[in-house]
Amino acid sequence: PNPAFANIDVPLASTFMLSTKPGKEAYVEPVIENGGYRFMVKVGKPKDMEAAKNGTKLARGANFCCLLSNAVINDPYIKSESMAGRMGAKLMAIVAEGDGGRVYLAPTLEHETVANEAKPEWKPDMPMNRKTSNLVSGRGYGFFTWADLFTSRQLVALDTFSDLVQEAIPRIEQDAIVAGLKNDGIGLEAGGTGAQAYAEAVGVYLGFAIDKGANYWSSICAWSTSTEKMISTFSRQAIPMVWDFTEANPFSTSSGNWDLGIEQAEQMLESLGLWNNGFSSCTDAQRQGVAKDKIVSTDPPYYDNIGYADLSDFFYIWLRHSLRSIFPSLFSTLSTPKSDELVATPYRHENKEEAEQFFLDGMTKAMNQLVVQAHPAFPVTIYYAFKQSENQSSEGVTNTGWETFLEAVIKSGFSISGTWPMRTEYTGNLKKQMSALASSIVLVCRRRNPDAPVTTRREFIVRLKAELPAALAELQKGNIAPVDLAQAAIGPGMAIYTSYAKVLDSEDKPLSVRQALTLINQVLDEPLAEQEGDYDTDSRFALAWFEQYGFSEGEFGVADVLARAKDTSVSSLVDACILFSKQGKVRLLKPAELSTTWNPEVSPRISAWEIAHQLIRALESGGETAAAHLVAAIGSDVETARDLAYRLYNLCERKRRPQEALSYNSLVQSWPEILRLSKEVPRAKPGELFG
């Protein structure tokens, strides 16, 4: 934007680091010369690590600084330039395979020239949907067609591989005939089982491998500096903007190579075996008849969470290019059908309310088909990986998508007999740094008793208070992750709610799903709060302080009053290594600040709070083995610390403290392995901590 540098392209780099692995650091250093710049690659730690990590990025989103003038380049400016076609790409570094790991090389003009000379004969120039936030196109960065997501060299590779599928199929067919398969000339789509169908089946797997390649061969693939690996396009269910991307070599032996897709298809075929024939069919869930007397387990759309059809086009364009001759009717359209997709997408309707009604009506009809058709002797299980907490309102924590889905399930005629958390969600890559849902929540449903009684709100609450604490205790006993606890505990509550035909309020109006969920959540908080009575006085103080301040500072006077109320004192809490106090301010000590030489066997004052946070310190610094050594030394008191972690996670969720929540969630998730390892720790001699 600086007029004096208007004729010079400058980099939008979110980082200059190539590797942050300890002892293997490498980075890009921009060299300013002759009125421009070039990139050098250096090995070792940069002098200014923070500056190298930040690249030219100033803040979240599209906010950078000019490498030459230090002028701020903000989001509106970048969008206007990119939409006008003035955003390109420049080679920053080359990653090669070395004998001892990755080798980072400076870019050369020859490499950059070769890449820029690539000219694809065909490219998917179908327009992208610009109305959804799931795609980079919706954010205004100059991506108009699907081809814009790929470099010219990537387009050449994908186009070439797709064409080769068509060349491979007749050669495979000839080999199949020679091997003895019948030459009946009937293809897969027509139900053939001879040489042509066999060849086309192999072609399908080759097409899948190309689609796998597309996930690694786009300009949306980032680079992980901590693991020295590329991150595929779909590290999550969206196509975000990536400022510095990785272009994989399909012929390498590293991530993103062509063989990966082939190997995975081969492993799948070997694992499944060839004993039974199967079939798949495409039908409208609101009108289907295939569920008749079947055991049904289904994973429906999650309200407005994911734009499935829009995102599917990323893969559809390449499948269609390589497999249209095999399945002409399946690939008859340029892109996937979208108008009937059962999601609450406002841009397909007049407004948000109409989109919600579309989802509710359609999901109710789809669920009703299952109520009528599913085998009566078995429950229907419905996967729903959708976090409940969305916003805080006068009615408590609410989530429109979750409530609308539950309402559709109940209106269809189902009663919910449970919610099972199933460990299904991959938590690597981006998810490992956030309190993401670790499980899918499986709703266990049966047809509701047509003679179900009507009850009152008061009777409903009485039953909740009588039955939920025991259900919650069972979930905790099963070591469910805190991140999943609230969602899973809805099952017992909804089982009570759906055991009635109606729950009536004081005005004889039916209690809505939202109101029922609010009451369930309120009652669920009570057992966790009641557990506080089992804690020592120091832990009760720390809990109350944490709820209000977290690990931030507060006034000494406030802490003094609270400590007296909890039958302790600020000085005692300082001595107990829970609190830091100085110059009229106090704060709780973070796990990383706790003593690494803490010995519970000789400590004169041990609290559940200190145990929990010492375990977190050990877990985060030395892993499960280090935590296991502490558990072995602590003994039976450790169970109270795990219960405390549930309570603290619950507080963090309410107070929106995701980083602290992550620590408490990790402690509970690692608990079974910590306990197992603790049993292998040699018994310590008197006066020794670790034996």
Residue 231, amino acid: I
Q: Report helix, strand or coil for 336.
A: coil
Q: Which two tokens stand for residue 443?
A: 């709703």
CA-based Rg of the chain, rounded to a whole angstrom? 30
pTM score = 0.74
Structure confidence by residue, pLDDT tens digits, 342-401: 988 888 888 888 988 998 899 899 999 999 999 999 999 998 765 544 444 444 444 577
Model confidence at 281, pLDDT cuts 50, 70, 90, reads confident
Residue identified by tokens 């869930």 is 285
pLDDT of residue 691: 45
Question: Among 574-583, 612-621, 678-687, which is the least confidently predicted range?
Answer: 678-687
- Those residues with Cβ within 8 angstroms of residue 273's Cβ, 6 or more apart along the chain or in another chain: none
- Between helix 513-530 and helix 457-477 the angle, nearest 10°, is 50
In this predicted structure, the answer to whether residue 685 has a pLDDT above a threshold of 70 is no
Residue identified by tokens 């979930």 is 475
Helix intervals (H) in 45-93: 49-54, 75-83
pLDDT of residue 138: 58
In this predicted structure, the answer to whether residue 171 has a pLDDT above a threshold of 90 is yes
Query: Angle at the Cα of 595 (from 594 to 597), degrees rounded to 5?
Result: 150
In this predicted structure, the answer to whether residue 440 has a pLDDT above a threshold of 90 is no
Looking at residue 29, the DSSP 8-state letter turns out to be: E
Q: Nearest CA to 579 among 589, 592, 569?
A: 589
Structure confidence by residue, pLDDT tens digits, 172-220: 999 999 999 999 999 999 989 999 999 999 999 999 999 999 999 999 9
CA dist 662 to 157, 420, 649, 665, Å? 41, 22, 8, 5
Separation between Cα atoms, residue 670 and residue 628, nearest integer Å: 10
